[in-house]
Amino acid sequence: MAARSTPLSIASDKQRLDKWLWFARIVKTRHQAVELIAGGHVRVDGRRIEVPAKLVGPGAVLTIALERHVRVLRITGLAARRGSADAAQTLFADLAAEGSKPAAI
């Protein structure tokens, strides 16, 4: 069977923050996601989160303080499992990258 990412197919449109960070390949392991959140390095819609079980869904804006830089991401999708890097990139929009583009005249 070919490996592919499948959309989350549960009744809820929410997912645990630690799982989402791992599925979206922001961190390499789920344990790293838990440590990042518990350390206070993740904000959801501007609020500092310290509980890995916090539920997040599409539209939420995450501010993540990584070791060498800060990422600002909008969640655009959820996943049922960790998939390929290409599939992971469909789960978020990088708002910092959008803000660095020059304005069209």
Going 78 to 3 to 72 to 54, the CA torsion angle's sign is: positive
pLDDT in tens, 61-105: 999 999 899 999 999 999 999 999 999 999 999 998 766 554 455
Q: Are strands 92-94 and 47-49 parallel, antiparallel or unpaired?
A: unpaired
Residue 9 has pLDDT above 50, yes or no: no
pLDDT tier at 2, thresholds 50, 70, 90: very low
Contact yes or no for 35/41 (Cβ under 8 A): no
pTM of the model: 0.81
CA R_g for the chain:
14
Residue ranges of domains in the chain, CATH in brackets: 15-99 (3.10.290.10)
Contact yes or no for 33/26 (Cβ under 8 A): yes
